[in-house]
Structure 1
Amino acid sequence: MSTPKHVARSRVVRDTYCDSLRLLVATSVMSEQAGVSWAGAVMATPSGRESLADEGFGEEVIGTAGSNDLVLAVRASDETAAQAALDSGADAVYAQASDEQGDTAAAPPRSMERAVEQMPDATVAVVSVPGDYAAVEAHHALSAGLHVLLFSDNVSIEEEAELKRRADELGLLVMGPGAGTAVISGVGLGFANAVRRGPVGVVAAAGTGAQEVSALLDRWGVGVSHVIGVGGRDLSEDIGGRMAKAAVRALDQDPETEAILLVSKPPSEAVAREVLGQCTSTPAVATFLGLDELETPPGVRLARTLETGALAAAKLVGVTPPATSAGVREQVVDGIAALDDRRRVIRGYYSGGTLCYEAQLIIGELLGNVYSNEPLRSEQALPAPPGAHVLLDLGAEEYTVGRPHPMIDPGLRLELMLDEARDPEVAVVLLDVVLGYGAHEDPAGRLAPVLKEIMSEGGPRVVAYVLGADTDPQGYAEQRAALERVGCLVTETAARAAYAAAAIASRRPEITELNR
């Protein structure tokens, strides 16, 4: 009898609620076990059950599990590997619960009211529950007088608008929904980097955009006073920039903030003008990616990339950072020399959505013919048009259903790169490596062997950017060195990586010295 290619096993843990971060960690731990081809840790909510069913774990497997029950599921090479992976997932869940409880005898709170009783001095509530319940919990936090970091997504636009209207009336902030990053008075929330305190305040409707500019300011010795992530839809007409305006007003009045840096993907122009109008006494820079022309108030300037925005903010507080393109042209020339002439296209595999969008803008302006996730969301499937440069945001929802975010687990990127990047037309593999709290403990260590294999025997060049601060737990210098040791071209900023990729693909080294 032949041996089956895999076994599928699951385990239901009753009455064990886990927020999205804990689920992602448990999924990542199981995925990394030997012999595992797929793993997922989900709550058995209707959407969770649907995602499990898509992977073959239907009603007959998870039975009567309900919204407060945790389901661990794996596909593995054999029974032993499957059970070991399930055990590792359960251990990860219980270890996190133990860490959160600490040495205290008090049981973890099961309601916002109980949490406030246990921590009466708290000023911020982090809400990370399934989207169906997120708005209700955020309202409970506002009723308790707390600012809210709403990490959850799948919150409707109507719920978001009502939450932010109410928060505005109460003089509170709702950061989110889908707010992955904030740093308040030196304390990082969500996916945050270990950045130093300093005079620049950041307001961002873009998670990795906030991380990029704050990490650059840290590495240049500037630092940030606060990083306030307001959620990707805040500057839309539906929301009207309520929280961005409130955040700018707060920073404008903050004695520790000497300059304000705003970051967003394309906003509503009318809303963007209203937000910039809140800067009454503090000089400001706005990087509204994809919006290059906008009438701004006195004391406010526009920047076209995250790099130039951070540079301008640094100069406002008296710091002139070092050149970001130093040494890149020489490496690009070497990379071009190593390529067969057929190799002319770029493949980008990003974990940061804002970094991916910025790269699409830069490469699209320089080379044209860029293909991204957006056609996928419009039900236009790959393959891309011939000769297209394909840049994908692997943190987008179509890639993360039932899988951990690529910042936490690089497994999906490894699969895609091995499947696609050795195409004989590919000149450059372009990627980001995001460090910080909540990210994988050694992303470069996981990626480097595969990247080395991709570049071997005349394969494409790899251009990488490490988004991180000097004191991030993964070690910024160590992560860069791991990639450089296998031959990657590692740039100083995310924008520089896009320029370098475009220069190699087009055989035009002078592109590396451009500055949008």
Structure 2
Amino acid sequence: MSDVLVNEIRRGFYLDSVALMRLSREVAGAEGVIEAALMMGSPSNLAIMRDAGLIEAGCDARPNDLVLGLRARDAAAAEAARALALEGLDRPRASAAAEDWRPRSIAAATEALPAANLALVSVPGDFAATEARRALGRGLNVLMFSDNVALEDERSLKLEARERGLLMMGPDCGTAILNGTPLAFANRVARGAVGIVGASGTGIQEVSCLVSEAGRGISHAIGVGGRDLKHEIGGITTMMALELLDADPATDRIVLISKPPHPEVAAAVLDRIAQSAKPHVVCFIGADPMDLPPGATQAFTLHEAAEMALDGARIGAGFSPDAAPRDMQGERRAGRIEGLFCGGTLAAEAQIVLRRAGRNPVSNAPVPGVAHVGDGAAGDRVLDLGADEYTRGRPHPMIDPSVRDEMLARALGDDAVGAILLDLVIGFGAHDDPAGQTAEVLAAHAGPRPPVVASVTGTAADPQDKARQAATLRAAGIVVAPSNAQASALAVTLAQTARAEAAS
């Protein structure tokens, strides 16, 4: 019997991307469903669904229409999944009372809340620039969660924001913490005197959580979007964020996190840092050693950046990445390290740790000096499962960690794998129980397996509770390290010790 494809179009119906991702995950997990997605009908989204085989030829959805596409094993499963999706779409409207009225435009929102000073834009990329411009025109700072926005639009918006004295965070800004308020994918951290500027969402999350869990806190964490430090943009928002934190009396030191910027942009940023009397930590993941101005120090990993922000206090001082824990489960075997990551910057940090240890990782998102996994090079594999090739038509693994379930199951049974390395990112917007999901995969595995090492990016105050997540992982036989860098270092120890033992 052939698969059954179902399409449903809701004309003029909008839900934000995070809500649609969550509902997509719910429908995709229904019995008999092969794949499912709910997306707004923008050209880019329709292309994604078409590539995934989730829409019929001739689909006439318009950009302001919501599209359901699902493939199921039979007609009964398809109809049940369709009903589940429609129920989910109706849920917000069915529960909405008159007092729960929500505005449908920037204009209506500012009229209802005239004291507001920030708009969070999470609409399809084709419309995001227009909505951001409307928000700027009304005197609002903007956090743009949306991606797929043209570079020329990003630059234009940031120039306009600068002229108006407003912050334009994004596009593709996944994390910010402003005045103690976590926005998008962020964590509930303690208030304190450490300010963060980041072109990396998970980089901000890791550093802010490590600092908070170590007893200090965050004044503000300003996300700038992943492209802000490109030559075409010139670091417009980064420079503004540095100036704001430099002038903020509640901030006594500043951490800057990014992939290596364009050289001209890096020079301009360092010139701005040189004008400040506050200490700065510069963490350009994958960059070579740099000449920094007085008062600035370079961190090569997120772990190092957090420790420098803590005046050198050690994180995870009681944990030794140089020795296997006595209660570690798994078969000691020579083989490669298999890194399966939800966070792109955490995957980059793992590559740095592996390279420092003399290993030769490959990755689908390589840092400078690391080979691409598709180029035929052998070595440890560090995969960013949040990259486009794994998320086209599917929720991000921070929202739905089942994206890596099948890959984890294969790695557990692969004799060529000497250690498995995982990250779990919790907080607002993330999956309710990623540790439980991971534990289920290990429970379903029969036979010998390699050791599994993980870290949890989050805090005890997060909805998922970092301590509870770590306890679930340990109960499943997973070694939990205090940070992603320490987890990566332990994976190196396990792989290299097993290789030495096999050679003796």
Q: Which amino acid aligns with 2:30?
A: Q
**Is the contact made by 2:330 and 2:448 (CA closer than 8 Å) also made in structure 1?**
no
- Per mean C-alpha deviation after superposition, the further-off stretch among 422-431 and 500-509 is 500-509
Aligned counterpart, 1:513: none
Whole-angstrom CA distance in 2 between matches of 1:430 and 1:476: 18
> Which string of whole-angstrom CA distances, capped at 9 and with x for unpartnered residues, describes residues 121-163 of structure 1?
1111111111112112111111111111011111122111111
Whole-angstrom CA distance in 1 between matches of 2:373 and 2:215: 43
Q: Which amino acid aligns with 2:454?
A: A
**Is the contact made by 1:332 and 1:503 (CA closer than 8 Å) also made in structure 2?**
no
Q: Which amino acid aligns with 1:302?
A: Q
Give the drift of 1:91. 3.2
Whole-angstrom CA distance in 1 between matches of 2:134 and 2:8: 32
**Is the contact made by 2:119 and 2:142 (CA closer than 8 Å) also made in structure 1?**
yes
Q: What are structure 1's unaligned runs of at least 5 residues?
A: 511-516
Q: Structure 1's 114 and 385: CA in aligned 2 closer, same or farther, altered over 3 A? A: same
- Per mean C-alpha deviation after superposition, the further-off stretch among 39-48 and 346-355 is 39-48
Aligned counterpart, 2:295: 299
- Per mean C-alpha deviation after superposition, the further-off stretch among 63-72 and 115-124 is 63-72
SS of the aligned residue for 1:458 comes to coil
Q: Structure 1's 157 and 324: CA in aligned 2 closer, same or farther, altered over 3 A? A: farther
Correspondence for 2:15 among 8, 15, 18: 18
Q: Structure 1's 278 and 242: CA in aligned 2 closer, same or farther, altered over 3 A? A: same
SS of the aligned residue for 1:496 comes to helix
Correspondence for 1:257 among 238, 251, 260: 251
SS of the aligned residue for 2:454 comes to strand
Pair 1:104 & 2:95 matched: no
Correspondence for 2:48 among 51, 59, 67: 51
Pair 1:499 & 2:494 matched: no
Whole-angstrom CA distance in 1 between matches of 2:265 and 2:52: 42
> Which string of whole-angstrom CA distances, capped at 9 and with x for unpartnered residues, describes residues 407-455 of structure 1?
011122002222344221101111111101111111111111213455x
**Is the contact made by 1:24 and 1:404 (CA closer than 8 Å) also made in structure 2?**
yes
Q: Structure 1's 103 and 187: CA in aligned 2 closer, same or farther, altered over 3 A? A: farther
- Give the percent of matched residue pairs that are identical in Structure 1 and Structure 2: 41
Whole-angstrom CA distance in 1 between matches of 2:488 and 2:123: 35
SS of the aligned residue for 2:480 comes to strand
Q: Tell me the TM-score normalised to structure 2 length.
A: 0.92
Q: Which amino acid aligns with 1:122?
A: A
> Which string of whole-angstrom CA distances, capped at 9 and with x for unpartnered residues, describes residues 306-365 of structure 1?
01111111228xxx355446244443577598323xx31011111100000111122123
SS of the aligned residue for 1:215 comes to helix
Whole-angstrom CA distance in 2 between matches of 1:160 and 1:126: 15
Counting matched residue pairs gives 495
**Is the contact made by 1:429 and 1:460 (CA closer than 8 Å) also made in structure 2?**
yes
Aligned counterpart, 2:434: 443
**Is the contact made by 1:245 and 1:275 (CA closer than 8 Å) also made in structure 2?**
yes
Give the drift of 1:117. 1.5
Correspondence for 2:468 among 466, 470, 478: 478
Correspondence for 2:332 among 333, 339, 360: 339
Aligned counterpart, 1:417: 408
Whole-angstrom CA distance in 2 between matches of 1:437 and 1:371: 31
Q: Structure 1's 39 and 364: CA in aligned 2 closer, same or farther, altered over 3 A? A: same
> Which string of whole-angstrom CA distances, capped at 9 and with x for unpartnered residues, describes residues 464-509 of structure 1?
1111111111111111011111111110001111111111111189
Aligned counterpart, 1:310: 306
Query: Within 5 A, what are the aligned runs for 1:18-97?
Result: 18-60=15-57, 63-96=59-92
Correspondence for 2:269 among 275, 298, 311: 275
Correspondence for 1:196 among 190, 199, 207: 190
Correspondence for 2:201 among 187, 197, 207: 207
Whole-angstrom CA distance in 2 between matches of 1:282 and 1:386: 44
Correspondence for 2:339 among 348, 354, 362: 348
Pair 1:8 & 2:2 matched: no
**Is the contact made by 1:8 and 1:82 (CA closer than 8 Å) also made in structure 2?**
yes
**Is the contact made by 2:319 and 2:481 (CA closer than 8 Å) also made in structure 1?**
no
Pair 1:225 & 2:204 matched: no
Q: CA RMSD in A?
A: 2.5
Q: Which amino acid aligns with 1:46?
A: P
Whole-angstrom CA distance in 2 between matches of 1:479 and 1:443: 8
SS of the aligned residue for 1:228 comes to strand
Whole-angstrom CA distance in 2 between matches of 1:420 and 1:408: 22
Whole-angstrom CA distance in 2 between matches of 1:88 and 1:40: 13
Give the drift of 1:268. 2.3
Whole-angstrom CA distance in 2 between matches of 1:419 and 1:67: 39
Q: Tell me the TM-score normalised to structure 1 length.
A: 0.90
Aligned counterpart, 2:450: 460
Aligned counterpart, 2:137: 143
Whole-angstrom CA distance in 1 between matches of 2:116 and 2:284: 33
Aligned counterpart, 1:126: 120
